Amino acid sequence: MSRISECFANLKADGQTALIPYVTAGDPEPWVTVPLLHALVDAGADIIELGVPFSDPMSDGPVIQKACERALKNDVTLQHVLDMVRQFRDKNKTTPIVLMGYDNPIEAMGYAVFAEKAAEAGVDGVLTVDSPPEESSVLRQELDKYEIDSIYLVAPTTSAERMQRIASFAKGFIYYVSIKGVTGTAALDVSEVRGKLAQLRQYTDLPLGVGFGIRDGQSAAAVSEIADAVVIGSTLVRCIEEHEKRPEALPAAVAGLLAEMRHAINARDLASA
Amino acid sequence: MPELKFTDYFKSYPDKEGHFGPYGGRFVGETLMGAIYELEEAYEQYRNDPQFIAEMDKDLADFVGRPSPVYFAENWTKKLGGAQIYLKREDLNHTGAHKVNNTIGQALLAKRMGKTRIIAETGAGQHGVATATVAARLGLECIVYMGAEDVQRQAQNVYRMKLLGAEVVPVQSGAKTLKDALNEALRDWVTNVDNTFYIIGTVAGPHPYPAMVRDFQAVIGREAKNQMLNATGKLPDALVACIGGGSNAIGLFYPFIEDESVAMYGVEGAGHGIESGQHSAPLCAGTPGVLHGNRTYLMQNKAGQITATHSISAGLDYPGVGPEHAWLKDIGRANYVCVTDDEALEAFHELTRTEGIIPALETSHALAYVKKLAPTMSSDQTILVNVSGRGDKDMHTVAAMAGLSF
């Protein structure tokens, strides 16, 4: 069983919803990332989505675009990101890490080389936002060799037929994009998401995560009612941006924010137990 | 490397997933997948629909002014000494460039699909103007994304778009040029996917755009083939066109691809010189990768980050190129070369003074290569060069090079 599947199985046994923070690797400075990841785990992260910076993040809103720009100012490469994961794994062997980003940096490294290095570093899942299942079969085969999960997106515009196809390729969990739009721009509509998740569950037994548009404890708790995992991205990255000039205070501040979300989700999980 | 046989080209490329060999494809976020399948379906439905074709042909004739003439550049031919040079006059189209051939087609498609809102990206502003023009005529809301740097250097086109009723959004992210405008347009499309049609201006983006834009631009090559046969009794020996994304070049090349005697030259912007790193020549100096929905040659660093581009011409200032050009390069059907800013400027002045035609700076790159190519050919051979646009929009840039301002 992959580390991701194991994580979800344990949470399910405890009646808990997974909390998945997203941060961009190397933002605002490379040395911050590993301490930040540990702080996030301490604050209640179950899985971590680590963003691989890209020069042209077309699916992201201004908050994550700027995070990429800050990281790239320090020339953070995919190799550096893998090094960060390896360093994180020195102290943490259990929290799954999903790399999230765009195809091109992976293609530049080479799919096979990347898969091998990612496995070595301790990566558990890979989500390339601009590479739908149709275009990612080669990468998927390479990741499969090392039992790294290929995570796929489902969107409000995804047809039932496509849901089925995506579900047939997906591993680990399926990431439901809760809004039509880029990251960090609009608030989600819980009842609409509920309907889509119910539809998606007809085609898969995989856990379903929901992201894009979750901004505070309240919306996190609302989503935890209908999803197996809650993904928080731009809200945390905005906090990182605010601490750009004093990065030493950043891990505690971001972790504090995540802890609020954890608290809200736990309260909800308990209430429904 | 595949064998050099091009007789099956038309029925082979792209395949049904939009691939030209390893290039092309549909590399977009899941939210847009539905929209690009919907577009593909609509395009397949209407591309052979007699009513759609008739409506488009009528617009191309009465609104754009097609067919555009082919003109024998006698003075320039004499001056260069060598092959006879013919100019395909896309600069005479309404709005001043080849771009309108495509916007007419896509806007008619948008109307049939019931979309009420049009978005576009633009570099030099020619595609933005051509989009704003058709949107005004069809009464569609129009938003044009343009890099903040391009807004500065193409102020006149910005004003033209505003006159036509379009909203021009300056894009401040990244390098503030064409690629960033494309990113922003894609973000808009994701957000407003239900009512919005994205009119991409070049043969890039996810499938079906590269094939669809090519088909709309191929009117250039179809006309030119007949015109050359009428004028000279034979096919041209060489075609020359400038390449940013590559829509005017593929428009000219495509109908000739299976005519193996016709050499093809796509001319990229070498900027300050390839060795300077400040250029926009992915086919000459780039490597394959994925950007803006397709796999193609890109200007990128070893880590796969897209690098900054430079060209004197805003329309060439793009780090990628249409995937079909990438494939034509790999199979050896077309040759891709590049010329510097200075060489383009020199050709700009030379055509202006010898033929009384002021070309766009983009086009001037093609002309600069003709200056090199023509003298190597014999006087019974012919070169057909695509004059993709006129130079009115570049007066500020050219004047500034001479230390003048208006």
Q: Is B298 on the interface with A (CB under 8 A)?
A: yes
Please give the radius of gyration of chain B, using alpha carbons only, rounded to the nearest integer. 19
**For residue A187, what pLDDT is reported?**
80
User: Residue B17: what pLDDT?
Assistant: 95
Instruction: Give the whole-angstrom CA distance, residue B368 versus residue B140.
Output: 39
**How long is chain A?**
273
CATH class for the domain made up of A3-268: alpha beta
State the amino acid at position B74 in one-letter form. Answer: E
Q: Does B195 lie at the interface with A, CB-CB under 8 angstroms?
A: no
Count of A–B CB contacts within 8 Å? 126
Least confident among B149-153, B221-225, B374-378, B381-385: B149-153
Topology of domain B65-96+218-402, CATH: Rossmann fold (3.40.50)
Q: Is the pLDDT of residue B209 over 80?
A: yes
What is the DSSP track for B192-239?
Answer: TTTTEEE---SS-SSTTHHHHHHHHHTHHHHHHHHHHHHHHSS--SEE
* Alpha-carbon distance B235 to nearest alpha carbon in chain A (angstroms): 39
Is A144 annotated as catalytic?
no
Q: Where are the domains of chain B?
A: 20-61+99-209, 65-96+218-402
Residues in chain B: 406
Instruction: State what percent of residues in chain A have pLDDT above 90.
Output: 91
* pLDDT value, residue A273: 73
Q: How confident is the model at residue B4 (pLDDT cuts 50, 70, 90)?
A: low
Rounded Cα distance, B256 and B277, in Å:
33
**B264-323: per-residue pLDDT in tens?**
999 999 999 999 999 999 999 999 999 999 999 999 999 999 999 999 998 999 999 999
pLDDT of the residue at B3: 53
Average pLDDT of the segment spanning B149-157: 87
Tokens for B241, please give them.
Answer: 């066109």
Q: What is the pLDDT of residue B155?
A: 87
Residue A244 to residue A70: CA distance in whole angstroms = 9
Rounded to whole angstroms, the Cα distance separating B355 from B210 reads 34
Q: Which of A56, A69, A106 sits opposite B183 (nearest CB)?
A: A56
Average pLDDT over residues B97-126: 96
Residue A60 bears catalytic tag = yes
In chain B, the percentage of residues whose pLDDT exceeds 70 is 99
For residue A169, the Cα-to-chain-centroid distance in whole angstroms is 18
**Which tens digits make up the pLDDT trace of B183-207?**
999 999 999 999 999 999 999 999 9
Query: Is the model's pLDDT at A198 over the cut of 60?
Result: yes
Residue B162 catalytic? no
Residue A235 forms contact with B (CB below 8 Å) = no
Quick one: pLDDT at residue B1? 47
Decide if B20-61+99-209 and B65-96+218-402 have a common fold.
Answer: yes
CB A96 within 8 A of CB A124: yes
> How do beta strands B167-171 and A48-51 pair?
unpaired
Predicted ipTM? 0.96
Position B277 scores a pLDDT of: 94
- Mutation choice for B interface testing from A55, A72, A127, A185 by most B CBs within 10 A: A55
> Which residue has tokens 């090079």?
B401
The architecture CATH gives domain B20-61+99-209: 3-Layer(aba) Sandwich (3.40)
pTM reported for the whole predicted model: 0.96
